[in-house]
Chain A
């Protein structure tokens, strides 16, 4: 029996070789296919950069680097400068981070240490779901609900109250429009809050409970455990997550466009209307006529891409280093 089986196999050897070769060829083909797809991803990235640079070329040639610190924006005379937009982008994003990072870390501490166990999962899931709500929702809420309320109840009070206090009278100056730099920053911070909380909580949960228990065993209070053990251990992750959130805030369009006021001048107070790069592009791109208008908008897009690239790349390198540490 065994002999026959063996002989039969021997007969079919060339066929099997053929089959194996064919399998090998298919194997290579599949590998090349996946490689091609990976290269497409690469190609999209390069394409984005190239299209921005080529599209912006007329404006780069006309205005050069001073574009970045020029504050004129006049489509009629075709004099363009990106300073108000860049300034608005940076100010709203950093203000938003200033609010969202402490609050987000607070929520994460609440979720990992303080919250009753039965509430942890539902609250955690709720926050993760909110992180997926599209930014246009935050924008329309800011425009229809928050801005009118803020204008009527908070802003006038601030403006009146600090009208005669030095420094503060400048920060809280101006007619109360409701919309403006501060409103945009607040809406942005609410938008990135779930994201920061979710990332921070995930990082906190990677802290070995042994470490925490040891600290508690030495008599540390909950706060001391959080501040001296959990936060230092999780620092790289928290910073990386916050940078990712900053990247989102910088490039965010819809949450900001609704409530920033779209004014092309440098804001002189916290409440005055301003604009950001993405808001300017979203509002004006389809109406940009003339040889330099659209290229100038694309030039701003290039600057925005450059800024977010640096922020996101450093966030990634930080998180990568963290992963490597966790892996070993």
Chain B
């Protein structure tokens, strides 16, 4: 009898906690669904051709986001072009040369800290070295602050992907007489190519919504601007400015920008996922 009571109690507890975790899952997923819903609802109703053809308007007038889009694209491109080779080489050092050495340990540690360090702090860093000494906000500073965010992402994925390459490949190439540098460049990099590209795409996804460091490096601009020595608009900075303003039309444009960013990020992550090598 007592035993049966115990079983009943355990079953009850089981049902209770299962229900709780289903509820937790429901709770979490509902929030996320709500956010996506209002993003798509408000975003799509605000997106039109003007968004892609006109520059950001003064309050009360019609306009678009093209200067912000162009600014974001220019700065992100610069950041990725500069950050990828650096990250690739540093990741290669960690996976191929440094391995278990003391220096590699420290670099790995520092890199993982930079990977999740507050991005606003990287903004201050770039402000101190690129904005304050030259007395002015600039697109270059914005690109540099994004580059500081790109590097750790590329380092991390490059190292992970290179470590997945079987050692047999390296040994086979070395046995054919290839110097180590050639082994790395022609065999290991090639074998890990898909994974490394994934890392770069993830880095692009990461910086395309990054706002905090841009606020005081590239600042913002309400004009079309291709000159990297001048302050430059970017989608996240414009969203921040417009959403915090009291103007209704600016709010609509902020939603449109938010939708553009999310769509970009989700597309990039889906492509990155499809390239990622399966773990065994």
Contact = CB atoms under 8 A, between A and B. Distances in A.
Interface of A: 23-24, 26-27, 29-31, 33-42, 44-45, 47-48, 51-52, 54-55, 102-107, 109-111, 114-115, 123, 125-130, 132-141, 143-145, 190, 193-194, 197, 221-224, 226-227, 244, 247-248, 250-254, 257-258, 278, 281-282, 285-286, 298, 301, 304-305, 308-309, 312-313, 316
Given A31-B97, A134-B265, A247 B116 contact: yes
Contacts of B270: 129
A258 B245 CA distance: 11
Contacts of B68: none
B13 A44 contact: no
Given A114-B21, A128-B269, A316-B112, 11 more contacts: A27-B180, A44-B114, A45-B113, A110-B21, A133-B209, A221-B14, A254-B236, A305-B118, A308-B118, A309-B113, A312-B116
A128 B116 CA distance: 17
Given A132-B205, A251-B119, A114 B22 contact: yes
The residue among B14, B89, B118, B181 with the most chain A CB atoms within 10 A of its own CB is: B118
19 contacts: A23-B179, A23-B182, A31-B181, A34-B89, A37-B93, A40-B151, A41-B107, A52-B124, A110-B22, A132-B202, A132-B206, A133-B266, A134-B236, A141-B38, A224-B14, A251-B118, A254-B211, A278-B212, A305-B117
Contacts of B114: 41, 44-45, 48
A286 B243 contact: no
B31 interface: yes
Q: Is chain B's interface secondary structure helix, strand, loop, or mixed overall? A: helix
Interface string B175-191: 00001111011000000
B208 to A, nearest CB: 7
Nearest to A29: B181
Contacts of A103: 24, 27-28
A197 B93 CA distance: 32
Interface string B114-136: 10111111101101110000000
A128 B273 CA distance: 10
Contacts of B62: none
A41 B110 contact: yes
Given A34-B92, A254-B211, A42 B107 contact: yes
Interface in B124-164: 124-125, 127-129, 148, 151-152, 155
Contacts of A248: 116
B44 interface: no
B109 to A, nearest CB: 7
Contacts of A35: 93, 97-98
B261 A137 contact: yes
Contact of B151 (A44, A123, A127, A250): A44
B86 interface: yes
B91 to A, nearest CB: 8
Nearest to B112: A316
Interface string B78-95: 000000011111101110
A253 B211 contact: yes
Interface residues of B, number: 95
B28 A40 contact: no
Contacts of B96: 34
Contacts, number: 271
Contact of A298 (B90, B113, B124, B211): B124
A156 B96 CA distance: 60
A305 B215 contact: no
The residue among B16, B89, B116, B254 with the most chain A CB atoms within 10 A of its own CB is: B116
Given A55-B128, A223-B13, A301-B124, A130 B211 contact: no
B102 to A, nearest CB: 12
Contacts of B202: 132
A222 B93 contact: no
Given A27-B180, A141-B35, A278-B212, A44 B148 contact: yes
Contacts of B42: 144
Contacts of A110: 21-22, 24-25
The residue among A44, A286, A316 with the most chain B CB atoms within 10 A of its own CB is: A44
Contacts of B212: 253-254, 278, 282
Contacts of B211: 134-136, 253-254
The residue among A115, A128, A223, A301 with the most chain B CB atoms within 10 A of its own CB is: A223
The residue among A29, A44, A125, A134 with the most chain B CB atoms within 10 A of its own CB is: A134
Contacts of A115: 25
Contacts of A278: 118, 120, 212
A149 B190 CA distance: 53
B75 to A, nearest CB: 15
A40 B258 CA distance: 33
B90 A41 contact: yes
